[in-house]
Every structure is written in C-alpha cells, then in structure tokens.
Amino acid sequence: MGVVNVTPDSFSDGGRWFEPGAAIDHGLRLLADGADLLDVGGESTRPGSRRVPVEVELERVLPVIDGLVAAGAAVSIDTTRAVVAERAVERGAVIVNDVSGGLADDAMHATVARLGTVYVAMHWRGHADVMDTLATYDDVVTDVRRELAQRVASLRAAGVRDEQVVLDPGLGFAKPGEDNWPLLARLGELVADGFPVLVGASRKRFLGHLLAGPDGEPVPPHERDRATTAVSALAASVGAWCVRVHEVAGSADAVRVAAAWRGGRSEPNRAGGTP
Ligand code: PMM
C-alpha cells in the first residue's frame, strides 16, 4: 500500500503532493513502483496536529481519488469520518482505512456495514492532539489485541462481516518509541488472532530513534526508508497482509522476498515472470 497524503502537514511528506495533480502523479509513480493499493488521506495524523473541517478533507481527497480510480488504481480512503468514507467509496475507493477503528465517529461501523467494503481498524486511543498523553499500557501487545477485539465486536454488532475486517496495531499512535518494538516482535500474536494484519511503520519516529547517531538525534523521516523496507520484509515474513509505505519500490521487493522465503519457492511476477 503506497501512501498518498494530500495534506500540507503530514510528518514525513507534508505539502509535497498537496495539489491534486501532483498527488495523482505521485500515486501513479507508486503504482509503477509496484504498489497494489494507494491510500489517499486528507487529514494529517501527525502527533499534535489539529483536525481539519470535513469540507476541507473532502475537497482534498475526492479529486485525487477520481484521478487514481480513472487510472485503474485500487484506492483506499484514509479517514476517520463516515461521511468521507461514504463519499470516497461512491467515487470508487474500495477500502476504508480508519486510524481510529471507528472510535472517532459513531456512524463509521454502520456505514461500513452498508458500503460492504474492506475496513482497516487500527488501534487508536485519541486524536493526534492528545494521543501522546494516552500511552499507558500494562502489556502493550495484550492491551492492543484486547482493544482491537473490542473494535471487532463493535463491527460485528453493526453488521460488518468478518471478511471485511483488517486489523492494524497502530504503530506510533499513542505509542511512544519503545512501545512499538514489542508490537513488531510479537506481531505473530496479532496475525494468529485470525484477521488480515496491516502494518504502518513507514518513516515513523521510532525508526528515526533506532537509527540515531552518537549525538542521539533521530534521523529525519526521508532517511528512514531502508529501515522501513526491513520492517516490510520482517512483517511479511510473519504473515502481515499489507504494509503501508511511502517509498514503495523497496518494500515491493521485500514482500516478494518474504513470500518466497515463507513458501520455499518463488512465484512468477504478475507483470511477466521472474527475470
Ligand atoms: N499511519 C499513518 C496514517 N494512516 N493508517 C494505518 N492503517 N496504519 C498506520 O500506521 C497509519 C495510517 C501516519 O503516517 P503518515 O502521516 O505518514 O500517513
């Protein structure tokens, strides 16, 4: 899944693809790099960021969805708002990616039941302006799995079918640095819960801290792509269904390596066979 942020302020690529034409071109480049899905978002979830009005979110994402769907892309809409999800699906989006797992909008689960699309429920505890204050866990992996199970119960109660549901541990969301590593180390436990799992580690702060030099300064987001690729390979090797990344080419290779590694054999490239 390639990231197409149509925002002026996302932490790693804010402002770079803010014009619809630039965002569409960027999405097409990610497809050429091997993305199977493009995740279009119009609201930054950067720690500390403020919400944008719904009209602004719609104005940002709809023209970009139109352009990418017209080009044949499978698009997911990255939103916490039911109305944005609904309008995006009307325009051809096939997945609703909700970083709040439905907690930000009471109407979301019923909307997804009606739309019938795949729905990514991410682990979340609060909006970006407060999430850093909500990061208290007994055991982060157990707590995240339990809270995701509660999201699944809410989805079922709203009439969403299990086949629609993808779960995501929500790396970096109400999870400061060190809390992210147990979630990756024990990703197999989440996979074993039985739903497809999406992992969004791309360029996140905990990777910047991991790669810090002797001065302790985290490396900047655009220098975190090699580490992101490593996460993609490792996540895929324990059974993740999808990795959400800004730089696609490396991760596309990584997940193919992981698939061959897991299967003990290589599969021909859909684009025309192994070279
Ligand atoms: N992370 C971001 C945005 N959307 N969606 C899912 N499902 N999982 C994530 O981890 C996730 C997400 C934040 O990253 P960005 O600001 O670079 O898009």
Residue 77: which pLDDT band, with cuts at 50, 70 and 90?
A: very high
Quote the ligand 1 centre to 267 CA distance (angstroms).
Answer: 29
255 or 132: which carries more pLDDT confidence?
255
* Average pLDDT score over residue span 214-226: 96
Residue 84 pLDDT greater than 60, yes or no: yes
- Cβ proximity of 88 and 65 under 8 Å: yes
Structure tokens at 8: 């002026």
CA distance 223 to 221: 5
- Cβ proximity of 32 and 47 under 8 Å: no
Instruction: Choose the catalytic residue: 81, 204, 205, 224.
Output: 204
CA distance 36 to 55: 28
Whether the CA torsion 66, 87, 3, 63 is positive or negative: it is: positive
59 or 271: which carries more pLDDT confidence?
59
- Cβ proximity of 121 and 168 under 8 Å: yes
Residue 9 pLDDT greater than 80, yes or no: no
* pLDDT attached to residue 160: 98
Structure tokens at 266: 């290589």
3 state SS of 237: helix
* pLDDT attached to residue 169: 98
3 state SS of 154: helix
Ligand 1 nearest-atom number relative to CA 97: 7
Active site residue 175: no
Quote the ligand 1 centre to 266 CA distance (angstroms).
Answer: 30
CA distance 78 to 57: 10
* pLDDT attached to residue 211: 97
Amino acid at 85: A
- Cβ proximity of 177 and 204 under 8 Å: no
Amino acid at 218: P
| Of 13-27, 100-114, 239-253, minimum mean pLDDT range | 13-27
Instruction: Choose the catalytic residue: 60, 87, 175, 244.
Output: 244
* pLDDT attached to residue 216: 94
With a CB cutoff of 8 Å and minimum separation 6, the contacts of 256 are 267, 269
Residue 275: which pLDDT band, with cuts at 50, 70 and 90?
A: very low
* Residues facing residue 36 across a β-bridge: none
- Rounded to 10°, the helix 82-90/54-70 angle is 30
Ligand 1 nearest-atom number relative to CA 170: 10
* Average pLDDT score over residue span 178-203: 98
The residue whose C-alpha atom lies closest to atom 8 belonging to ligand 1 is 200
* Average pLDDT score over residue span 55-73: 97
Quote the ligand 1 centre to 170 CA distance (angstroms).
Answer: 8
- Cβ proximity of 73 and 27 under 8 Å: yes
* pLDDT attached to residue 274: 43
Residue 270 pLDDT greater than 90, yes or no: no
Residue 14: which pLDDT band, with cuts at 50, 70 and 90?
A: low
pLDDT (tens digit, 9 = 90+) per residue, 88-142?
Answer: 999 999 999 999 999 999 999 999 999 999 999 999 999 988 888 999 999 999 9
CB atoms within 10 A of CB 50: 11
CA distance 238 to 28: 29
Residue 269 pLDDT greater than 90, yes or no: no
Percentage of the chain lying above the pLDDT 90 cut: 86
| Ligand 1 cavity residues, CB under 6 Å | 3, 5, 10-12, 41, 45-46, 78, 97, 99, 120, 122, 168, 170-171, 198, 200, 244
pLDDT (tens digit, 9 = 90+) per residue, 171-183?
Answer: 999 998 899 999 9
Phi first, then psi, for residue 3 (nearest 5°) are: -90, 125
Ligand 1 nearest-atom number relative to CA 46: 16
List the alpha helices (DSSP H) in 81-139. 82-90, 108-115
Active site residue 244: yes
